[in-house]
Amino acid sequence: MINALKDLSFQVVFEAAADAMLVTEDSGDIVSINPSAQQLFGYAADELNGIAIETLIAPQYRKQYRYYQEFFFNEPVKRSMSVGNELVALDRNGKEILLEVSLSPIKVQHQLFILIRLNVAHERFEAEEALRISEERLRLAKQAAGLGILDYDCNRNIVYWDKQVRELWGGEHSETVSYEEFVAMIHPEDRAARQTAIDYAMDPTSNGEFRAEYRVINPSNNAERWISAMGRVYFENGCANRLVGVTRDVTEQKNAQKKLQAHRDEAENILKQQVAARTASAIAHELNQPLAAISAYSEVLLHALHNDTTNSDSLERALKGCVEQAQRAGRSLHELLAFLQKGELVTERLNLNDAINEALSILCNDGYEKFCAVLHLEKNLPAVQCNHTQVQKALLNLFRNAVEAMRAVNLPTLTIETAVQTVAGASVAIVTIQDSGPGLDQTTAKRIFEPFFTTKPTGIGMGLAISYALIEANGGQLWVDPDAKSGAKFHLTLPLAPDHA
């Protein structure tokens, strides 16, 4: 040993030590505290001398220290508290310090003193604190998301479930349960689908992900709850050995979904009823005209028979009228049904000028003859591509409405002006039909294409709705002119045949 060191006193070494140290009597009272320890606790030496060491230890660790001290006195040899038995002390400001403590006996003239060395377990303490915080965060996040944790040990066939899951399942349960007991609480109808999802996730060739929704039945009151579960299977040596997952109560969402579905079904039913009603109205609309004509012809026939004024020509004309109208009604129904069933639209090249003349002559045969038709037809009009019958039906509806509107106001002359033209650069032909009737006020103009909208006492309100749909189905448009100066003015377009477009 270097000679100079022989003279070093205990006190000098004690004061110089970088480690925090203090000396206590066997009673536990502090008799000396070195500068490092003073700095650690934030006290001056004279503030601590004579005070019990326990005062520096956090209350919940005092018992542990006492026990350790007693143990030391039974056999006073050098000892350090083993890892994991650290103490928490408090500094002057009440801040916790995790300390590893070692005790060494010092005997001076039959009196036993204890040299206590304190080592601050910073890193461990911080790591534990961080773990505690992250566990707390996880707990709060789980709570906020309403998640429970399930851990299935496949080898031992045991399911560990946390408090949240146990609460969801209902009833009284311990922390672990056999897999069979666990499955027994799942709704019988949902077990197979859930097991398929488990089997798939446990297949080592899968990615191990598990997802399922199933119901559980509370054994105490038979109440059902919907559970959404997701998790991951862990494999060892190619075999599934653990499934860890989270569960969530989705009963409210499921109930909301059910309600929504019930509303959808109800809305669909109403829609179906509406479609049925509209179809019936459309059929009525198609039959109205021919049935009225057949009835009129039949009355003429009956009258002639009763009065013995039968002449074979008029009889034949009336009968022919009946036959024609009945056939027309049949054709109309057939086409209407094809249209409603959205069958393939058969189109042809059509000369719109001819179609307009044809519609006007049908109108006259139907008893709408007393009006003046003014035509502005474009010469050499290119053909349009459309379904002849459907376009004719739309034109007839427009002409018929025009005559009915003009008749309703007892005008001396009823005029329908019809113009057909093409527009340079546009690949459509435009038909404009204007009558000299009362026209449309703003509210009526807004609603005329609505099904069932009618202002006529015996009207059905389907004519314009059908016409609109027919023209649209043929690639055109139908609209009412809001700027008509007098009477009602309608426009419709139809696409030109491909070689003219």
Q: Which residues make up the interface to ligand ADP (CB under 6 A)? A: 397, 401-402, 405, 435, 437, 440, 444, 448, 453-456, 459-465, 488
Residue 329 Cβ, how far from ligand ADP at the closest point, in Å? 17
What 8-state DSSP symbol labels residue 500? T
Residue 463 Cβ, how far from ligand ADP at the closest point, in Å? 3
Facing residues of 479 across strands? 491
CB 431 within 8 Å of CB 387: no
Closer residue to ligand ADP in complex, CB, 292/305: 292
Residue 194 Cβ, how far from ligand ADP at the closest point, in Å? 57
Closer residue to ligand ADP in complex, CB, 200/449: 449
CB 431 within 8 Å of CB 396: no
Residue 411 Cβ, how far from ligand ADP at the closest point, in Å? 12
Q: For residues 97 and 119, give the distance between their C-alpha atoms in angstroms, rounded to a whole number.
A: 10
CB 214 within 8 Å of CB 229: yes
Closer residue to ligand ADP in complex, CB, 35/461: 461
Closer residue to ligand ADP in complex, CB, 212/282: 282
Report helix, strand or coil for 150: strand
Residue nearest to ligand ADP (CB): 463
CB 86 within 8 Å of CB 120: no
Facing residues of 111 across strands? 108
Run of H or E residues at 377: strand 372-377
Closer residue to ligand ADP in complex, CB, 53/391: 391
Closer residue to ligand ADP in complex, CB, 351/454: 454
* The two structure tokens encoding residue 175: 């922390």
Residue 439 Cβ, how far from ligand ADP at the closest point, in Å? 6
Closer residue to ligand ADP in complex, CB, 54/286: 286
Q: For residues 423 and 404, give the distance between their C-alpha atoms in angstroms, rounded to a whole number.
A: 31
Residue 465 Cβ, how far from ligand ADP at the closest point, in Å? 6
CB 151 within 8 Å of CB 160: yes
* The two structure tokens encoding residue 488: 């009602």
Residue 317 Cβ, how far from ligand ADP at the closest point, in Å? 28
Q: Cβ atoms within 10 A of the Cβ of 434, count? A: 22
Closer residue to ligand ADP in complex, CB, 152/368: 368
CB 483 within 8 Å of CB 451: no
Closer residue to ligand ADP in complex, CB, 24/397: 397
CB 101 within 8 Å of CB 118: yes
Residue 437 Cβ, how far from ligand ADP at the closest point, in Å? 5
Residue 431 Cβ, how far from ligand ADP at the closest point, in Å? 14
Residue 402 Cβ, how far from ligand ADP at the closest point, in Å? 4
Show the CA angle centred on residue 128, arms to residues 125 and 132, nearest 5°: 135
Run of H or E residues at 113: strand 111-120
Closer residue to ligand ADP in complex, CB, 340/460: 460
Residue 395 Cβ, how far from ligand ADP at the closest point, in Å? 13
Closer residue to ligand ADP in complex, CB, 390/401: 401
Closer residue to ligand ADP in complex, CB, 241/444: 444
Q: Which alpha helices (DSSP H) does 243-387 contain, by range?
A: 251-306, 312-340, 352-363
Q: For residues 272 and 229, give the distance between their C-alpha atoms in angstroms, rounded to a whole number.
A: 38
Q: For residues 457 and 433, give the distance between their C-alpha atoms in angstroms, rounded to a whole number.
A: 24
Q: For residues 54 and 230, give the distance between their C-alpha atoms in angstroms, rounded to a whole number.
A: 50
Closer residue to ligand ADP in complex, CB, 215/285: 285
CB 88 within 8 Å of CB 56: no
Q: For residues 28 and 33, give the distance between their C-alpha atoms in angstroms, rounded to a whole number.
A: 13
Residue 411 CA: distances (Å) to CA of 194, 317, 417, 450, 480: 78, 31, 16, 28, 22
Q: For residues 265 and 143, give the distance between their C-alpha atoms in angstroms, rounded to a whole number.
A: 36
What 8-state DSSP symbol labels residue 195? H
Residue 443 Cβ, how far from ligand ADP at the closest point, in Å? 10
Residue 209 Cβ, how far from ligand ADP at the closest point, in Å? 59
